[in-house]
Amino acid sequence: MADFEELRSRFPLLAQKTYLNSGSYAALADSVRAAFAAYLDDRLAVGANWDVWVTKNEVVRRGLATILRADPDEVAVTTSTTAGINAIASALDFSGERDTVVTSDLEFPTNAQIWHAQEPRGARVVHMPLDADGWISPERFAAAIDERTRLVAVTHVGFRNGARLDAAAIARIAHSRGAFMLLDCYQSVGSMTVDVKALDVDFAVGGLYKYLLATAGIGFLYVRGSLVPQMLPTVSGWFAQADIGAMNIASNCPSPSARRFEAGSPPVVACYAAEAALAIIAEVGTDAIEERVRRLSGACMDQLAAIGWPAITPRDDARRGAMIAIPSRDSEGLDAALAARGIVVSHRDSNLRAAFHFYNDESDIAAFIAAMRELKEVFAQ
């Protein structure tokens, strides 16, 4: 059983701040900080340490595969979520009868902008609006997905309101209509178990600087193994080749694995950090993390309701992620007022966002609720 008090001590920031901002950037672990130092030490000792750098990239691939419950050959290590989605987009054909991408109004801009960028290639983009409670039911998706749908591309957890879509149900609907399913799990992976096989998604994308505890500049793309051979991305590079050492300039020879969706040199420094970060996630276990985050975030929501300032995030455990969104007449001002009290959160639109991870505890909730009670008269809607 995880010792969460000991785990919390590995994040020095938590000794001085109430940190509820993992949905923007995770708190820095001591071992991740040490990994940055290890990279610099290697540079000073060796200089260009390419063999080690390539090895680090493969270690990260295996670590991500373990967390996603996938095979390493189904995982591409990317520089961002954007890079992963662009690689998939470049491999899809929108010129035929299946020209439609169904997405949602919960999306982070990237997972809509990229599909709109395919419109000159023939893509038609359909947006699913939110239900009155900020969620989107699978039945609503069923009404929108049809024989023209090439891809359903949706977020797992919305970055604006913390609502969690029923990814497995949406994937079943997509597949029943002959469409692919892409899941953006940036706001879920690391804070809960994301089993790509159980969810039965075809593609999944995310990054590592939120709940996966690493740093910016590194992400991942999962591609169902059976789909890899039939997809040829036109966004490519030397690390996408079957033999990265061939230095072949006469042709494109893509890797038989999901590495064909990679591009240029790996994000070396970020791989050092990611290796250390993924080791922490593996040590704690995503099932244990999900249970703790669910309990802490639920308790926080209940206490917000008790002070008369309820969140807009769905209270149903199955319909929410790690982040709580609280409406405010001045979310930016509320964010600043909390920061002045040593409480780190974030805001989007007219909502304050408080995002929990396994390293948070009841003292963080108490500090946050006390401050929110104090600030309610000025900032509550």
User: 118 and 175: one domain?
Assistant: yes
CATH number for the domain harbouring residue 330: 3.90.1150.10
Q: How far apart are CA 321 and CA 193, in angstroms?
A: 11
How many CB atoms are located within 10 Å of the residue 230 CB? Answer: 7
Average pLDDT for 8-23:
98
> Could you tell me if 158 and 105 are in contact, meaning their C-beta atoms sit under 8 angstroms apart?
no
User: 68 and 151: one domain?
Assistant: yes
Q: Is the pLDDT of residue 2 over 90?
A: no
> Could you tell me if 20 and 210 are in contact, meaning their C-beta atoms sit under 8 angstroms apart?
no
User: 278 and 313: one domain?
Assistant: no
Average pLDDT for 288-301:
98
pLDDT category, 371, cuts 50, 70, 90?
A: very high
User: 154 and 291: one domain?
Assistant: no
Given this model, what pLDDT does residue 313 score? 97
pLDDT category, 381, cuts 50, 70, 90?
A: confident
Q: Which two tokens stand for residue 149?
A: 């749908």
Q: Which two tokens stand for residue 147?
A: 């024989």
From start to end of the chain, where are the E strands?
18-19, 75-78, 100-104, 124-128, 149-155, 180-184, 203-207, 219-223, 323-327, 343-344, 346-348, 351-355
Share of the chain above pLDDT 70, in %: 100
Q: What is the pLDDT of residues 53-94, one digit of tens each?
A: 889 999 999 999 999 999 999 999 999 999 999 999 999 999
Q: What is the pLDDT of residues 126-146, one digit of tens each?
A: 999 999 889 999 999 999 999
User: 167 and 74: one domain?
Assistant: yes
* pLDDT, averaged across the chain: 97
Q: What is the pLDDT of residues 221-272, one digit of tens each?
A: 999 999 999 999 999 999 999 999 899 999 999 999 999 999 999 999 999 9
Given this model, what pLDDT does residue 49 score? 83
User: 227 and 371: one domain?
Assistant: no
Q: Is 110 exposed, middle or buried (0-12, 13-18, 19+ CB in 10 A)?
A: middle
Given this model, what pLDDT does residue 258 score? 98
Given this model, what pLDDT does residue 229 score? 97
Given this model, what pLDDT does residue 132 score? 85
Given this model, what pLDDT does residue 367 score? 98
Q: Is the pLDDT of residue 198 over 90?
A: yes
262, 282, 302 — which closes off a domain? 282
Q: Would you call 103 helix, strand, or coil by DSSP? A: strand
Given this model, what pLDDT does residue 230 score? 95
pLDDT category, 330, cuts 50, 70, 90?
A: very high
Q: How far apart are CA 156 and CA 320, in angstroms?
A: 9
User: 43 and 82: one domain?
Assistant: yes
Q: Would you call 102 helix, strand, or coil by DSSP? A: strand
Average pLDDT for 332-358:
97
Q: Specify the number of domains making up the chain.
A: 2
User: 41 and 23: one domain?
Assistant: no
User: 77 and 194: one domain?
Assistant: yes
Q: Is the pLDDT of residue 290 over 90?
A: yes
Q: Is the pLDDT of residue 278 over 90?
A: yes
Given this model, what pLDDT does residue 1 score? 79
User: 160 and 294: one domain?
Assistant: no
Share of the chain above pLDDT 90, in %: 95
Given this model, what pLDDT does residue 50 score? 83
Given this model, what pLDDT does residue 133 score? 87
CATH number for the domain harbouring residue 203: 3.40.640.10
Given this model, what pLDDT does residue 200 score? 98
Q: What is the pLDDT of residues 27-61, one digit of tens each?
A: 999 999 999 999 999 999 988 888 888 899 999 99
282, 311, 326 — which closes off a domain? 282
User: 177 and 303: one domain?
Assistant: no
Q: Which two tokens stand for residue 158?
A: 């919305």
| Residue range(s) defining the domain that contains residue 175 | 32-282
- Rg of the Cα trace of the chain? 21
Q: Which neighbouring-strand residues pair with 100? A: 124, 149
Checking 27-32 for CB contacts under 8 A at 24+ apart, the result is 27/213, 27/357, 27/359, 29/213, 29/276, 29/277, 29/280, 31/276, 31/277, 31/279, 31/280, 32/213, 32/214, 32/215, 32/273, 32/276, 32/277, 32/280
251, 282, 313 — which closes off a domain? 282
User: 260 and 299: one domain?
Assistant: no
